Amino acid sequence: MQLFDCIQSIDSLKLAKEINKRTVGAGKTMRVFFEVNIGDENSKYGISIQEAESFYDKLLKLTNLKVEGIMSILPYVEPEQTRPYFRELKQLQQKLNLKWLSAGMSNDYLIAVQEGANMIRLGTAIFGSRPG
């Protein structure tokens, strides 16, 4: 908890409560994003878009968490096919009045930014892909 100041992958209330408990013990408030599984993919973690508002309300009750954004890893499709997902995430971000939308990776970051993401993750573009 002392080495970082933001967690972008809150994907369950159990995890959120554990982080809250540990930050209370550390005398720290943790900035967090909650993860939305926008494509409802079994291979990915996160809250469904339908449950996002309710989950957000539950997170707000955890006193040592400061919810600042949402994060999502979109389905791996052709970049142009990601637009509807980014738009839906942007609408959720605006509805909840959150500062950050962390969505978009090396293959689709240009569309992510065009559709309103204000934080992107470019690991593959910087470091290349992992050996298979």
Angle at 82 between CA 78 and CA 73, to 5 degrees: 100
Per the DSSP assignment, residues forming a β-bridge with 66 are 31
Element (H, E) at 66: strand 65-72
For the chain, the structural domain boundaries read 6-127
Determine the 3-state secondary structure of 79 from DSSP: helix
Whole-number pLDDT of residue 4: 81
Q: Two tokens at 9?
A: 């992958």
Q: pLDDT for 60-114, tens place per residue?
A: 999 999 999 999 999 989 989 999 999 999 999 999 999 999 998 888 999 999 9
Q: CA dist 13 to 19, 34, 78, 109, 129, Å?
A: 10, 10, 32, 29, 32
Whole-number pLDDT of residue 106: 85
Residues 85 and 88: their CA atoms lie apart, in Å, by 5
Question: Quick one: residue 28, left, alpha or beta (phi over 0 = left, psi -120 to 50 = alpha)?
Answer: beta
- The band of 132, judged by pLDDT with boundaries at 50, 70 and 90, is low
What is 6-127's CATH number? 3.20.20.10
- The band of 2, judged by pLDDT with boundaries at 50, 70 and 90, is low
Q: How many CB atoms lie within 10 A of CB 42?
A: 6
Share above pLDDT 70 across residues of the chain, in percent, rounded to a whole number: 96
Whole-number pLDDT of residue 131: 66
Burial letters 11-32, b for 16+ CB under 10 A, else e: beeebbeebbeebeeeeeebbb
Highest-scoring range by mean pLDDT, 24-28, 40-44, 64-68, 105-109: 64-68
Q: Model pTM?
A: 0.90
For the cut 70, the answer to whether the pLDDT of residue 1 exceeds it is no
Q: Two tokens at 106?
A: 């090396």
For the cut 70, the answer to whether the pLDDT of residue 45 exceeds it is yes
